[in-house]
Structure formats: structure tokens, C-alpha cells
Structure 1
Amino acid sequence: MSKYQFAYWNLRGLGQPIRLMLEYIGVPYDERRFLHTEKEQWFADKYNLGFDFPNLPYLIDGDKKITQSHVITMYLGKKHGLAGNGDNDIIKIAMAEGAIKDIRSAISKITLNSDYEKLRPGFMPTFFKGLEALSKFLGDKKYLIGDKLCYADFVLYENLDVFEVFEPGCLDKYPNLKRFKKDFESLPKIKAYLESDRSIKWPLNNWQAKFGGGFEPPAKK
């Protein structure tokens, strides 16, 4: 089996759940991390790499050249037994991933706005409604679709971690989400990766973002 070729910016963003999946699956892969100083290089090269829809992140598996983060997670999930069983699981996994990313996208939208601090208070009710929906969906299950991991669990973990930075204590009302996060990051391969120097801690978002951006985390108050 040839190595997967994975590429994304040198930040967490949309790439981190894919990194977690690759580590958990345990397959060999090479990763290309584009620095903030390499934007011009990426935009100059992207249309010469043979992708139908050139973008980051991308994954190359032999003759398969894949872009769009949700397609990459779905592909890896199907190939490595992380996509559930049957139509009901397919639907639930896709809906959960979409709901998680809706919250993250809404956060990204306001954090890239110059009026972030003014917009944040009005956004918080929407943020907590999203968490409430995720908590209700998870219920008393170990993972999103039951006792077995699926690819959306990797997306959920990464985003819960970011949400706790965005709004410290936000999971206190949702003990099932806190339990999920603790259990997930205790998985041996995930724990080893998160504790390694290969795991990106910061930035969480685009370098220009008002939250999760820059090159170093803000000093704790």
C-alpha cells in the first residue's frame, strides 16, 4: 500500500480531524504543511496538481485525488471501517458532521470580522443551541452512533476542544459531551499523537482570525 499524501496549512482548522483519523487508523502517510508565507506558492501551484476542485486540505491515495474536508473524512471512514453500517448510520454520521461544522463555520464567520467583539455576544445563544443539539444527539451513547467510532467522532472531538477555548466552561452543562471528549483523547493512538510534537496546538483557525488566530495562543489572564 502506497503512503497517503495529505496536505493542509500549518494550523488546525479543517485539517486536524483528518490528522487524527490518519493517526488512529495507523496507516503510513506523508504530510505537507503549508506555512503562512507559502500562500502565493500554493495558489500558483494548486491548478497544476490534477485535482478536479483544487483546495486545501487534500488527500492523495494512489490515483485518487480528493479535496473537501468532509469528503476526505467520509472516504477514510468508508475505507477503514469508520463509516457505520447501513443507511441509518450513513445518514446519522453525515448529519452529525454537518451540524458540528455549522457551529464551527459560524464561529469562523464572526472571528474573521473586524467587529468580532461586538458580534460575539449576539452569537452566543446560537452557539449554545448548537451544543444543546449535539448533546441531545449523543445522548447516553459512547460515540455518535453507538459503541463504535465513526469518522464524525473525530470532527466532534476537535471542535469540542476548540469550543472550550472559544468559551471556557461551555461544556459544563453537557456532561455527556465532556465525557466523550475525555474518553476520545484517552484512546492510545490519539493520546500519543496529541502529546507529540507533531500535533499542532496553535493556531486553531486562519492566522488572521480574531479568535484562534495569530502565531501564539493569547496569554492567560
Structure 2
Amino acid sequence: MSSSMIKNDHHLSSNRTDYLRQKNVRKFSPPKGHFVTVSCSSSVESVMSRLRDAERSQDWASTLEVMTEAKVLKMDLPQTAIESAMRTYCFSGQQWARGSTLFDSILKKGVKPDESTVTCLFEALAQGRQGRKALDYLKILASMHYEEAFLSTLNDLVIRALVLEGEMEAALQLLEEAARSCDSKGRSVKGSSFTFVANELIKAGRQEQAEEVLEMRDYL
């Protein structure tokens, strides 16, 4: 076979390939004005599954990886997934800032978080000595129709967080307010909160105030 014939055959083959490609493109191209929607439900389900696994193992690093992927892909994660990530961040107490960021996003939506999620956050804030932030959150949650018993639990955690942050005066004020509202609002204060505050007052050389706090505890 001559070289010219080989070149012609190659040229015809190339033209045929280009034609088929163009035909396939035209065949699968949507009409003008229409859009192709790709479902991402399986991806969201996968993310939720990975977040649950990370929560079970308390692996905040894996949670961070998954949440970063979801953010890059602009996934609209359900509330349960966000709260799962938040709890994982808060378990160790060291990642309270990440948990707080997710909590802020929940509050912006006007959604009422689950009590277990809120408790995890407040425990992490206490460990992180973030009393003022915990107090701000407590004021917001007080208007979200939680049970008084639950708010009392949060109040105890805030008192502890304030003391650890060095905000003793704010802790004393909150403790006294809680003690006064025990009968009128149905709230309660743990005896351990009084004891904790009194011990810290003694360490600071404020013996007289410590005795007053303990008297308040015994009276209640």
C-alpha cells in the first residue's frame, strides 16, 4: 500500500472520530435554557456517617476533615450532622472554639439545639475557662423555652467557668441570683457550686466571703 493511501485512510479515520465525538456531544447536551441537576444526597449521607463515626471515637481531627470537605463542596448539612460535629469538638474541651463557631451558626438559624449538644458546649467552655462567653450563651438560651431544670444545670457550669476564668465577682452575682430564684422560678443550684466558689475564695484569702457562700448553701 502506498504512503499516500495510508495517509488518506488515517485522515478519514480521524474525521470519523471527530464526527462521532461531535455527535455524542450533541446527543447528550441539554437544550438551551435547561440545566442538568446532579443529586448529592449520597454524598451528604456519607458525610453524616463519617461524622457519626468520628463522634463515637471522639476524633475531632476526623470531624474537622469531614466538615472542611463539606464546606468546600458547599453542602447543606442537616442540623443533626452539625450538632454531631459540635459535640465531637467539645468532648475534649480543647476545641471549644470550633464548637462555639458551629453553635453560633445554629443560633443564627433560630434553631433550638438539643440539650445534650448544649451541655457538651458548656462543659467545654468551663474547661476552656470561657466564663463570659458561657454567660452570654446562657442569656440567649434562657429565652428559648428550655426546662428550668436544664437551665439550672447550665447555670452551675457557667458559675464554674466564670470562677476558672478569674471572674469571681460575676460568678458570685450569678450564684446569688440563682439562689434567690430557686423558689420563685423553680430553679435549683447544686451544693457543689457553692462549695467550689467558697474553696476558690479561700485560696484567694477571702475567708469571710467564703463563709457567707457556705452559709447560703446550708440555708438552701
Give the TM-score of the pair, scaled to structure 2: 0.29
Give the TM-score of the pair, scaled to structure 1: 0.29
Which has a greater percent of strand? 1
Which has a greater percent of helix? 2
